[in-house]
Structure 1
């Protein structure tokens, strides 16, 4: 991809997915990839704040990507009394949609910034790289295999760690010598202590909330303020989870909000698994939200950009994808995004809701970037937003319009697709207003 204009952005997204999934750490993924990728992005023409925002958004994907989900996968499984693999299964489509949204943004960035490709001569082919370094993936895959065989998460990780140590001796450069082994054990212990203290503190809060009955009272308060409306309850819940996430790490935020916020959604008929996944995704949003915003601030330190402008760019990259959790809470068909077959539905419904969400995110990404086939006018951006919302929230919009006009309507998703296509056709056939291209690259 090195000679293509969008190669730098694509590389960041793909490498974030490959590194972030196993690591589960947004900041670590951002820093690791940013140190290597930013010089390439700079040469390709990316503006420094936008580059930092993309790096932070890619790092954020580490927390929502299987198989680790920032350690939340095990917690969700424990809360719902389901298997770890069920959680991974539910997170699959939202993760794909998240990275797909980032790829849409990257494609538009390449046009908006006038990015250009960098000459690239690979030292080794893909097969040679896989043959030489592919064994690093064995430990990651082995965790899933051990859990499929029925081992507990702790036992699976233990055996996978032993396998990692043994596999390291396949090459001289990766061999865990005594000094490297001691360093690895030291770093691992330090990381474990951080996670342990976080979970212990969150456990105290959860215990107090549970024993005092505050969780049930809190959910009743939220429902009362929302007037029993599911949409308002979901909005209030997302806001509460986001605010709590500003003060504590993602894992602790999920633990706390799973006790005090999830019951409000469940009381209104949302499946428990959908409510918990909704809370998890909005716990993650705090990773790119000021004043903490660890990933964007780390990215800004690498790119030399403004931390707050970088944070705003990170929000722009991530927000279209963060509409997805509302789909499986508000739309009866939306649980298809969690690979659950809707009531009276089939696998076809899962495919359809996924395609609708993908097209909707593409239109919303174009609206957020202000660029589709060319720079979009204000009116075109409004139409793109409408098209995206009609595709992402068809049932919600149908219900809202029906309540206003008192008549049944249908095919709002089709209308959204038609509107989006018409905007693209208009851009393809009509020239851009004078000065619009120049303004887009300033």
Structure 2
């Protein structure tokens, strides 16, 4: 297993960070801890929104230029230009905060130094994105800036009046509509708090407990290896929201077990990547894009969690079905694994890790805001970690162990968690700042409405074709950029097309979110499958195709959100308030038909149900699945009929094979 290669894919998602020693390492640690401490403070105290956003971006850029090198050959050292860029980022934020209301009021006619600092900020943001995420996002962002400047010279229907550099800088730097807009608002108030929470769970050994618990609960049966991956990916991914990190963490432990029961390299890698993908769509975190959904729709985060509940269950239902089919298809037998402790023994010792997992939702249900909920969940994680010596974030022997106190304070898990919480979100923070430029341009030029008109015209006003075109746009954008950036770009340019055709905003945004998630398993940025292939030794592209096999059934479900009103039942009607007045039978009906559709697609894609399918049965299963994904009564009846026919054909063939041979007696 090439863990070093797998780590490279994590670096592609999170940036290739420098590794320091000595005084520089101490300084970086202190700066990252200060960033986490500041944001934990703002979760509980009142800090003006504008001040919070400017300081947040300053912290992100400052650490980005120190932690991520300008080029590979400068890794593990800080050059003079890194210091200049880092300090300039701080100066830009300080200038804006010191300017106060006078600074923001003159955004339509900025002064010379406003323009100078504004241009510098745009350049720094684009360079930070390049260092953490590669060239694609800066190039896309630059294209949007060119679009804003070159409006009068563009062909119809893309033409607009155009904006001069001072006006563009005024929006991007001096208002809360550009760089410091909704994406940075979410990054500064929610995303960083959740990454701190995830780091607290990681350093309190919660991840190890979730894997051990899954192994103990699921091992020993033919399907035990696959089930272990599915359950462990849910438990690991829910708090982290990172697909690649979940894939690598789980794969390094679970791959030998998958190989032992009979998974070939590419299939094992595909299953591991599919499990990692679930991290981005699973409560309580759902990845950074989920917080942006709440911000764009102006709804509570618990409503987003509510909407994700049934789709998440359907996703893991599809994975469990695939695992069950694998066991029969590949003839997997019972294998004795080296067992960890029993389920009850583990639960008795480490029950508090489950408390950490559900505490966020519990606090939100008690009426706390999402920001306060994750703050108190982090406190719960810290306090409960103290219950055992092997999980404590603050060592029992902190004051009695030998060595200088400053070194013990720097090395304790609490400090590492505070540092990891900030460092772990730098790539997302830079992406959110850059996405703010894109959102600002779209708002300024009206590009979203233009694009939606073009899409609807090409679709001839058909909702089905518009949904297909929108999913393709989101998927294509997702080929080149991370999930968060893909969602932000498409939320402002593609969602209006669906909304214009009568799709509720919450359904349109969830549709886009789920297709943005496909970027995790789509070349050339199929980071999760590529990381899994590095661990299993499989072929990256074959592993990607296997991952698609495992996930495609569940990813057709989002079409149900937008094609018919009844499909919104899968999102529990979009809010707790709407759910209270909803028709529960309608929700149950659409959920059951979706589950049957997923089962049919799983059988069709795997080529196996009760037994190996014939070509005719396979076509019937796939056709049934597609029909059941279209949420109308006629489509449901057709789909169920096709599925019943296919199962009946399988049953009759099995009965014929199992029938006793005729007697030879005369």
TM-score, length of structure 2 as denominator length? 0.61
CA–CA separation in structure 2 for the residues paired with 1:337 and 1:428: 35
1:355 corresponds in structure 2 to: 592
1:68 corresponds in structure 2 to: 285
Cα displacement (A) at 1:122: 4.2
2:563–2:631: 8 Å Cα contact kept in structure 1?
Answer: no
Cα displacement (A) at 1:148: 2.5
- Equivalent residues in 2 for 1:416-435 (5 A)? 416-431=642-657
1:437 corresponds in structure 2 to: none
Matched, 1:143 2:143: no
2:613 corresponds in structure 1 to: 376
Match 1:209 to one of 442, 467, 470: 442
Secondary structure of the corresponding residue to residue 353 of structure 2 = helix
2:627 corresponds in structure 1 to: 390
Rate the CA distance shift 1:112–1:257 in 2: closer, same or farther, 3 A: same
1:438 corresponds in structure 2 to: none
Secondary structure of the corresponding residue to residue 376 of structure 1 = coil
2:572 corresponds in structure 1 to: 339
CA–CA separation in structure 2 for the residues paired with 1:191 and 1:336: 35
More displaced, 114-123 or 33-42?
Answer: 114-123
More displaced, 314-323 or 165-174?
Answer: 165-174
CA–CA separation in structure 2 for the residues paired with 1:120 and 1:42: 12
Cα displacement (A) at 1:149: 3.1
Secondary structure of the corresponding residue to residue 320 of structure 1 = helix
1:17–1:58: 8 Å Cα contact kept in structure 2?
Answer: yes
Cα displacement (A) at 1:379: 1.4
1:164 corresponds in structure 2 to: 381
Residues 316-349 of structure 1: per-residue CA shift (max 9 Å, x gap)? 111111110001111221111111279x972111
Cα displacement (A) at 1:412: 2.5
2:566–2:631: 8 Å Cα contact kept in structure 1?
Answer: no
Rate the CA distance shift 1:391–1:423 in 2: closer, same or farther, 3 A: farther
CA–CA separation in structure 2 for the residues paired with 1:257 and 1:329: 16
2:470 corresponds in structure 1 to: 237
1:13–1:58: 8 Å Cα contact kept in structure 2?
Answer: yes
1:19 corresponds in structure 2 to: 236
2:544 corresponds in structure 1 to: 311
1:20–1:65: 8 Å Cα contact kept in structure 2?
Answer: yes
CA–CA separation in structure 1 for the residues paired with 2:426 and 2:280: 19
Rate the CA distance shift 1:396–1:330 in 2: closer, same or farther, 3 A: farther
1:8 corresponds in structure 2 to: 225
Secondary structure of the corresponding residue to residue 302 of structure 1 = helix
Cα displacement (A) at 1:414: 3.8
- Equivalent residues in 2 for 1:42-441 (5 A)? 42-120=259-337, 122-176=339-393, 177=395, 178=409, 179=411, 180-340=413-573, 346-395=583-632, 398=635, 411-431=637-657
Rate the CA distance shift 1:428–1:392 in 2: closer, same or farther, 3 A: farther
Rate the CA distance shift 1:198–1:190 in 2: closer, same or farther, 3 A: same
1:394–1:412: 8 Å Cα contact kept in structure 2?
Answer: no
More displaced, 371-380 or 360-369?
Answer: 371-380
CA–CA separation in structure 2 for the residues paired with 1:242 and 1:20: 22
More displaced, 247-256 or 315-324?
Answer: 247-256
More displaced, 387-396 or 161-170?
Answer: 387-396
Instruction: Flag structure 2 segments of 5+ consecutive residues without an equivalent.
Output: 1-217, 396-408, 659-666
Residues 237-270 of structure 1: per-residue CA shift (max 9 Å, x gap)? 0011111112221112111111111110011111
CA–CA separation in structure 2 for the residues paired with 1:251 and 1:46: 32
1:436 corresponds in structure 2 to: none
Cα displacement (A) at 1:396: 8.6
Rate the CA distance shift 1:427–1:79 in 2: closer, same or farther, 3 A: farther
Flag the structure with larger Rg.
Answer: 2
Cα displacement (A) at 1:161: 1.7
1:404 corresponds in structure 2 to: none
Secondary structure of the corresponding residue to residue 373 of structure 1 = coil
CA–CA separation in structure 2 for the residues paired with 1:127 and 1:267: 53
CA–CA separation in structure 2 for the residues paired with 1:140 and 1:13: 17
Cα displacement (A) at 1:73: 2.3
TM-score, length of structure 1 as denominator length? 0.91
1:21–1:69: 8 Å Cα contact kept in structure 2?
Answer: yes
Secondary structure of the corresponding residue to residue 424 of structure 2 = helix
Instruction: Flag structure 1 segments of 5+ consecutive residues without an equivalent.
Output: 399-409, 433-442
1:401 corresponds in structure 2 to: none
1:47–1:113: 8 Å Cα contact kept in structure 2?
Answer: no
Cα displacement (A) at 1:128: 1.8
Cα displacement (A) at 1:188: 1.3
2:594–2:629: 8 Å Cα contact kept in structure 1?
Answer: yes
CA–CA separation in structure 1 for the residues paired with 2:642 and 2:282: 29
